[in-house]
Every structure is written in C-alpha cells, then in structure tokens.
Structure 1
C-alpha cells in the first residue's frame, strides 16, 4: 500500500526526458517527436552554456513539435539575474499555453569555477538560495492571478527544503554518489510541505550506462548499484517498471526523469505506467 505520509496521497506517474540539442536539427526534431509520441510528459533542457543552445528558445521550438510539456532541468540561479529568468519563464508559459515548467536550483557542484571563468560573482549558498526565492517571487508577479507556472526545485539541505516547501510544485533531491536508498527515503519523508508536492527522481544511470548531461561520464555505475542508489535503474524494462512502482509505494517518487539515450528503451515502461 502506498505510504500516504510520504506521498501526500497517490499521484499518477509521469516521465520526463533531458534532451539537449547536440545533433543536427532534423535529427533532434525527430527525437523530440518520438519522445512525445511515446507518452513522455516533459521535454527538458539543462542550463549549461557550453553544452547546447540556450534553454528558452530551444524549449519554445520543442513545444511546437508535439503535445508535451517542456521545462528546464534546471536553471542555475548563480548564472542568471532573477528578473530575467522570471521573464523568460513567464514568456515560455505564455508561448506554450501553460505547458512550461521552471526547474531551478542553486547550481551544480563545481559551479564556482564556471562563475569565475565568466567574471560573475561567486555567491554563497545562502545568497544563491535567495536568488531562487527572488526569481520565483518575480515569476509569480508576472504570472498574475490567471497563470501559474509550475516550479520544480532541486534541493538538498534543510534551508533549500524549507524554501521548496513554500514555493515549489515539484521537488527533486540532489543526490551524491554515496547516497543509498535509506538516506534519500529519510530526506523525502522528512520533507514537510504545507501543500501537496510532487517528488521527482533524476535517473542518471541505467544498467551500466551513464546518461550524458545527467552525471559525469566517469561515474562508477557498479558502486551506485551496490549502495542501492536511486540515481540508477536496472537495464531490463520489466525490472525497471517494478522498481519505479516500488519507489512510489515506499518513498513517494512519481515523476521520473531519464536521459534522451534511454527514451526509446523505456518507452514500453512509460506506455505501461504513465498516468496510472
């Protein structure tokens, strides 16, 4: 039976794909259409300048290719001015007729080096979190009473969790290589929100393969499986579907995000579980 304390009630499954534009445009467009046709909920873009075109225009292009939601996974608050990020997010909500989700966090490990390279100030963790709050506040002002852009927050520590409890619609926990199932279960169940929050799971490893853009290429996949890391799923789709259902029942995760290279492999899983 589903633990309603952990989940806030049973939510239906949905699935997202991180699919940056790294090929020629026709190949990428065909991939986006295939993802949409497979029943995935959301097409997502990372926020790393050297990896792909800017998230905003790329997501706007993706939204026109199929009936799916689009979102950032996730905006790095130290790289962006709060008002500009909010304006872009609101604009994407308008242009996609409410199909945009703003994922935001305080930045990847090691982002300090990138900030220095770009001549940007290296803000403290507290200052970065304040930037997230400022961005969401500006977004809500732009949205007004007739539009609500969903906010997905990547969190880890208690201060980030407290802010997410105030402003987020979906929460994903930033995982570390040594995290095991028991530790993350404790974090999720310790998350107290005044609202019904969706919990998302970032899946970077499937079998012995690492999803590009979702984890370092030298990730020790065997070690992740050995500790029962929630970043990993088995390669067999049947076993993966069983594990995904177990994670909803035991922990409360209902939104699962895969790398684009795994989208075709898990299409049967999505067909079986999406919306159920």
Structure 2
C-alpha cells in the first residue's frame, strides 16, 4: 500500500506529509530535475503557484509528474477568478487522468496581485463574495463534471482550499479534503488555532477526515535577500513575533515543534519553499508518514 493510501486511511491519526513549493526553473530540464529531487528527498508533493510571472501551473505539473513516479503534484493555488468553472473541472480531470491520480487541485478565491492577473487575461476578477460563490461552483463541477466535459478516471482529484477568512474557512471545512491556512508570515500558533476552530465547527463530524496544512516560509536563521524582500521582514523579526512560519534549530528540534503542533492543532501537512528543501529534508525523513 502506498504512503498516500496509508495517510488517507489513517487520516484520524493525522499522519505527516510534506510539500515543497517550486516556481519553475531556467528551462524544462531544470524544472523536471527539481521534481525528481523533491521525490528523492522524500517530499510527498511538488506544488506551484498560479501567477502570470511563472509557467502556467497545470502544464508545469504535468511535466513534473511525467518526470517522476511517486511524487504527487498540486496547484497552490489555482485562482478560480481566472478561468471558467467548466474549464477548471475539465483540466483537473485531465491532469488527474494523465498523472495516474497523482494530481491535487489546490483552489483559492484570490490573492494579492490577483486582480492585475485577471485584467491581463481579460476576465472579470469579481468581488470577494462573487469569487467565493464561483469557488463553490468549481467544487461542484470538479466532483461531477458537467455533461459533455471529459471526466477522466471518474475519480475526482483531491481538493485543497487555501483560506484565511471566516466565510472561506467555513466552505473549506464543509467541502475540502485539505485546508491550507493562508496567514501572515508573522502569524503565530494562537492565530492558527483560531482558524482551526472555524474549520472544526464547519466540518462537524467530518473534521477528523479533513487534512490541515500550514506553510513554513523559512528554515533556519537566515533568509536569502530576495525572500526577505518578498516577505518584507527578516528572520529575526519573524522570531520576535513568534512566527509559526519560521523553524530553527536542529532537525530533531524542528520535528518536535511540528509534532507538538500536530498533536495540539491537528496540522499534519507542511509546505516549504524549494529554497529550503535540502535543509528541511532531514525533518521530512524524521516525520513523513508518522
């Protein structure tokens, strides 16, 4: 039985798995090499964002899956504002089919800069309420593709939803397989606990089957200059704020933090940037599948 099957069957145990966020490479060879390296390091998933400054996520993920054998691939996350509902269902079913069900559909209702991307694509971005309503329709269409739309294997892909505000958190708790908490890099464990509470209330009896995901932005005491500029802060500032997105110390110490966080909050799926994949690999070795 695969590690993924064990995770899904034992979801009440909230077994660990880990993803790494990649943005592309200088060419196709570098991109597929990064996918193979993520697989070799023990990561469960290779994830990529949905921005016009990076390769289109679904073709990129198809290439990554073709270059690997066990690695799962996922959008983190696809903006529902940028595509028609039926198109998302069609492409998700197609990618699940082409990857042998190794595709995970990550969805979001918007992000900073998302409105500019929508404008460049010539599509209406919509209000927050309109985007959340569209996301709900996407969930319906992915679960049951509209008539005449290719349905792939007939097994809908696993759905991750990124959420930080109450309405979207409630929808994620009710409908998603995985909920990824989109919080400030300065957010601490108390902030995460509040979001978990909203998801728990919305999920009800299905809460034990909902996987909870958080992102670690920095591993270690140093941040590369480009990442510090993107985050708008230093590692010292994150540490002073008690950021849950910063892990420091030995691999065992990091593993202990994540194990406690899982036991107290239920967060068992952790993502890190590709920049820190090598540094984080010993933690993956200590915890993956446990």
The two structures share one fold, judged by TM-score above 0.5 = yes
Distance (Å, rounded) in 1 between the aligned partners of 2:185 and 2:48: 22
Does residue 152 of structure 1 match 2:160?
yes
Matches within 5 A, 1:192-231: 192=201, 193-194=203-204, 195=206, 196-207=209-220, 208-209=222-223, 216-231=230-245
Give 5+ residue unaligned stretches, structure 2: 1-10, 146-150
Q: What is the Cα-based RMSD across aligned positions, in Å?
A: 2.3
SS in 1 for 2:12: coil
Q: Is the 8 A contact 2:169 2:198 kept in 1?
A: no
Q: Which has the higher helix share?
A: 2
**Contact in 1 for aligned 2:46/2:74 (Cα 8 Å):** yes
Q: Which residue in 2 is equivalent to 1:169?
A: 177
The structure whose RCO (Cα within 8 Å, separation 6+) is larger is 1
Extract unaligned runs of 5+ from structure 1.
Answer: 1-7
The CA deviation at 1:217 is 4.6
Q: Secondary structure at the match of 1:263?
A: helix
Is 2:253 the partner of 1:250? Answer: no
Cα offset for 1:94? 0.8
Q: Deviations over 1:36-81 (max 9, x none)?
A: 1221101111101112x21111111111222111110000111222
Quote the Cα distance in structure 2 between the aligned partners of 1:145 and 1:95. Answer: 9
Tell me if the contact between 2:186 and 2:238 (Cα under 8 Å) persists in the aligned partners.
yes
C-alpha displacement of 1:145: 9.2
SS of 2:271's partner is strand
Matched, 1:79 2:82: yes
Give the 3 Å change call, closer, same or farther, for CA 185–211 of structure 1 in structure 2. farther
- In 2 relative to 1, CA 258–154 (structure 1 residues): closer, same or farther, beyond 3 Å? same
CA contact (8 A) 2:65 2:71 kept: yes
Change beyond 3 A, Cα 1:211–1:28:
farther
Q: Which residue, out of 222, 237, 245, partners 2:251?
A: 237
Is 1:60 paired with 2:62?
yes
The residue number in structure 2 matching 1:99 is 102
In structure 2, how many angstroms separate the alpha carbons of the residues matched to 1:119 and 1:260? 31
* Equivalent position of 1:69 in the other structure: 72
Q: Is the 8 A contact 2:261 2:267 kept in 1?
A: yes
CA deviation after TM superposition for structure 1 residue 212, in Å: 7.2
